[in-house]
Amino acid sequence: MKKITLLVLIFILSGSFAFGQQVLLNEQVLPDSTRRDWGQNKSHWMHFYGAFGFITPINQSTWSPIYFGKASNWELGLRYKKRITNWLAIGGNISYDFFNYRMLQSVDKTFPDQQLYDEQKVLIHNFSMQPFIRINYGRRGNIIGNYVDLGFFYNAIMSSREKMLGTPSGLDKVIIKNPSYMPGDYYGFFANIGFGRWSIYAKYQYSGIIKGDTRYADLPPVTIGLQIGFF
């Protein structure tokens, strides 16, 4: 077994090894290296990305009130893009998409309940799938360039929590796992305005999250944030 390992090791090392001499430069000229399909503005491109944004409290009388600046969204995903023309591409993201709804503690709140706490959060962990079309603008070479993405997202809720700190009953912390008002999934639309690796994104939860339960005003649907592509 040890001999085999040694032989394999020698074989791997010998790829660019002059016995007793030091290889200073070892370049292989790939015949297709200048015409590969993979690249930022080539036929296929894939990269990881990360995003952070804030859930925006648009019209707090219609939607459940939240703390702006503390209600946030994190996302880590993998993006694939297929170039159709120099200005048009289609693609898809799969991602882990996390929402932290930090609920405003006001006397007229109805969701998730009417009680007041020191702190109350609704946390949703999603597996997200996001097909999109991309419109590029500005002439460019093999770079991402400037673009607008318009897409649809489908979020499958992997788990959710309702978390309360400083409850009226005197408990320091109460956590409700997968609360009953939380659906299995929801969907909506999103847009990215991108400049190279950076983009500004906006998501709109069209289906609503707890829309089925009419006792509650739904969670605010709009999230706006910043995204960075890792490439």
Partner 1 sequence: MIKNYTTLLLIFLIISFGNKAFAQDSYWVFFTDKKDVQFNPYEYFDAKAIARRIKNEVPLSDPTDWPLNENYVKAVSNMVDSVSGQTRWFNALAVIANAEQIKQIQNLSFVKGVEMMNYYAVLASNKGCNPQYNNSNLRTRQLEILGLNDFLKKGINGKGVRIAVFDGGFPGANSIIAFEQIRKEQRLIDTWDFTKDKAFVYYSISHGTEVMTNIGGLAVRDDDSIQYGLATGAEFLLAKTEVKREPYSEEKNWLMAVEWADKNGADIINSSLGYTKDRYFRSDMDGKKSLVTRAGNMAARKGILVVNAIGNDGDTRWQTMGAPADADSVLAVGGIDPIDNYHISFSSFGPTADGRMKPNVCAFGSTIVSDPNDYAINVQGTSFSSPLVAGFAACALQANPNMKVMDLFHLIEQSGHLYPYYDYAHGYGVPQAKYVLTKQREEVKKTFEVEDKGLFLEFTILDINENNIGSSSLMYLSIEKNNGKLIHYQVINVTQKKFMVESLYPSHWDNLEKITIFYNGYIKEIQLDK
- 24 interacts with partner 1 by CB under 8 A: yes
Judged by CB under 8 A, which stretch of 72-80, 110-118, 141-149, 177-185 contacts partner 1? 141-149
Site for partner 1 in 70-129 (CB under 8 A): none
Interior/surface letters 98-110, b for 16+ CB within 10 angstroms, e for the rest: bbbbbbbeeeebe
Between 146 and 185, how does the x/- string for binding to partner 1 read (CB under 8 A)? x-x-------------------------------------
Which one, of 124, 125, 144, 126, lies nearest residue 134 by Cα?
Answer: 144
Nearest in space to 209 (alpha carbons), one of 187, 225, 179? 187
Subset of residues 32 to 61 that bind partner 1, contact rule: CB under 8 A:
33-35, 39, 41-42, 56-60
| Cβ at position 97, least distance to partner 1 in Å | 21
Distance from C-alpha of 65 to C-alpha of 63, rounded to nearest angstrom? 6
Q: Is 222 helix (H, G, I), strand (E, B) or coil?
A: strand
Side chain identity at residue 61, one-letter code: S
Nearer to partner 1, 60 or 167 (CB): 60
Structure token digits, residue 194? 């991108």
Helix (H, G, I), strand (E, B) or coil at 64: coil
One residue of 12, 25, 172, 177 binding partner 1 per CB under 8 A: 25
- Residue numbers at the binding site for partner 1 (CB under 8 A): 14-29, 31, 33-35, 39, 41-42, 56-60, 68, 137-143, 146, 148, 193, 195, 200, 202, 224
